[in-house]
Amino acid sequence: MVVQLHGFDWELYSEQVMPAFAQWFLEGNELALLTLFEKTRCAYEEKFLPDLMQRLCVWPRARAFMQTLPRGPYSRREYQKLCNPLQYTALSDRYLYRHPPQLYQHSNALRSVWGAIVESFCLPWSPSSGASKQNDAPGELPLIDASPLLVTSGEPISPGELASLLSEAGLPDLAREVETQAAQFTQAAQTTRATIEIVEFRKWEGMSKVGDSVEINESDDNPITPARIETSGIEQLIPAIPDDFGDETVIAAEGIFIGHAPNLLHLRGWLSGISIRAMGLFEYLACGRRSMPFGFEAGEPFGAFAGYLTPDEVWQLAACLEGVLPPDQEAAEEDYLNYRYQHYGIPPAFRLIDEVLPVYAADLLFAIRKASTQGLGLISSME
């Protein structure tokens, strides 16, 4: 599992996101939460599902689950604790409380709704986060970045592949347009290439006249080549993105990589030798000690958030680690190899995985100090 740390906008989370959940749980009013969810990457991606699969979307399943929840006085008290970030955080230690505030059963759909909203609005280090707080009026929802996005893998995509992708996305008209333009461009490129060969041959023969129907202007600074002519028409192959797409384009959450799951044990053991409080706070953040409001499932889309720290807890963690230097990278890698080969007699003394030097300690320290400086919390994800 890949573990990442993200900045966590606790103020927006506690003042807008969870109060919207409270309205749904306690008053049955889903409008505020639906307004948030409709601006997430999850809602945008589900718009491309066929009509027959719309009932499998996250929001309809979450709404159906909410209709089955009990509404007695005990349940309402539980919902109040669950949707109050300060009270829930104080009761979320699964080692101290056997039953922290939770629903009688977890819902994958409800967890996805929560994770999608957190990803879109509460992760300021992610490109998908909204506009800066200075531009947001009090009480208003942050705006999703509306810049168009074109992701490439580094290799050119063929018109046939582009048409296939558009067809799968439910855009057959654009797919046919791409195929038509590709065929026209291929024919034009072949004609141009043949014309260039004729011109080059005539120039070699010392002829200055070009064909009557074709006139090509060539200079030393801007020579005409088949590659340049082919490149100039690539933009014509890509259809213009409709205006209504640009307003809904979002990017997945990105964070600071701190290794795979075994490295969490390395970090935990290393922190325990520095400060017990630092180790405990790291357990809240990335080791599953803190319960999540609607559960956690590693690798699940929008449900892989494993733990968090409030801004006050991040400040405490940064204070515990002030002046601490990470282990040398080469020494940490060599120490891990020694641990791997200990069963073959190197070294002879048996060691625990918690005693291995962490490789990504510098990244952890960077994330903590960055969040502490910005007044943010931290939240971890495991993909």
pLDDT digits (tens, 9 = 90+) for 250-302: 445 678 999 998 899 999 999 999 999 999 999 999 999 999 999 988 888 88
In a domain, 37, yes or no: yes
Same domain, 281 and 375: yes
pLDDT above 80 for 121: yes
pLDDT digits (tens, 9 = 90+) for 296-333: 888 888 889 999 999 999 999 999 999 999 999 899 99
In a domain, 62, yes or no: yes
The pairing of strands 2-8 and 305-309 is unpaired
The mean pLDDT of 157-162, rounded to a whole number, is: 60
Same domain, 266 and 360: yes
The closest of 128, 129, 107 to 9, measured between CA atoms, is: 129
Same domain, 133 and 14: yes
List phi, psi (to 5°) of 55: -70, -15
Same domain, 198 and 308: no
Burial of 293 (0-12, 13-18, 19+ CB in 10 A): buried
| pTM beyond 0.85 | no
Residues 379, 129: Cα–Cα separation, whole Å? 15
Q: Which of 208, 240, 272 is the last residue of a domain?
A: 240
At 363 the three-state DSSP class reads helix
% of the chain residues with pLDDT over 90: 46
Residue 139 structural domain? 2-148+250-382
Quick one: pLDDT at residue 303? 87
Domain count, the chain: 2
In a domain, 22, yes or no: yes
Residues 122, 119: Cα–Cα separation, whole Å? 6
Same domain, 130 and 163: no
Same domain, 52 and 181: no
CA 357 from centroid of its chain's CA atoms: 29
